[in-house]
Structure 1
Amino acid sequence: MAKNKKEVNENNESKSIEERFTEIEDLIKKMDSEDVSLEESFELYKKGLDEVKESYNILQSMEGEILKLTEDGELEEL
């Protein structure tokens, strides 16, 4: 069973930030549907939180890689 969880984590980590944002939007649309039960809505909410957390981690990592150009024409990290 640990192998399945590892495979899920590997697939989850391979999503782009755009794919994650699209998935979050889809989850919100599903939660807004009248056909979704309270239990389903809660599961969608938890899945959305996981996507938001991973998106935040990706953005934090990207921010660490952004460089700025100084007045001297040198590149330095922000």
Structure 2
Amino acid sequence: MNREEEKQQEKPGLEENFEMLQETIAQLEREDISLEEAFEAYSRGMALLKECNDQIDGVEKKVLKLSGQGQLEEL
């Protein structure tokens, strides 16, 4: 396994990032959250959102099409 593959395995997947984003949103919706906690949660949420967007972009670039010979090719 090369270094790039190891990095990819260390990162949470898209679904895991969505779950963490949902947890962050729930935290921000609490009425008893302090301003400092809200700012930290907001910053964490924005970073998660960027990571989700990057992961979705990566998936879109790897969409495969089936060629006439039945082979998979990257678009």
The normalised TM-score by structure 2 is 0.74
**Number of residue pairs aligned between Structure 1 and Structure 2:** 66
Corresponding residue for residue 23 of structure 2: 26
How much does 1:77 deviate? 3.5
Corresponding residue for residue 59 of structure 1: 56
SS of corresponding position for 1:35: coil
Gaps in structure 2 of 5+ consecutive residues: 1-6
How much does 1:68 deviate? 2.4
One-letter amino acid of the structure 2 residue matched with residue 28 of structure 1: I
1:44 maps onto 2:41 in alignment: yes
- How big is each residue's C-alpha offset from its partner over 1:12-67, in whole Å with a ceiling of 9 and x where there is no partner? x5101000000000000011111101221111000000001011111111111101
Looking at structure 1, the residues matched to 71 and 51 of structure 2 have their Cα atoms a distance apart, in angstroms, of 32
Gaps in structure 1 of 5+ consecutive residues: 1-9
The normalised TM-score by structure 1 is 0.71
Q: Percent identity?
A: 39
SS of corresponding position for 2:12: coil
1:16 maps onto 2:13 in alignment: yes
Please provide the CA RMSD for this pair.
1.8
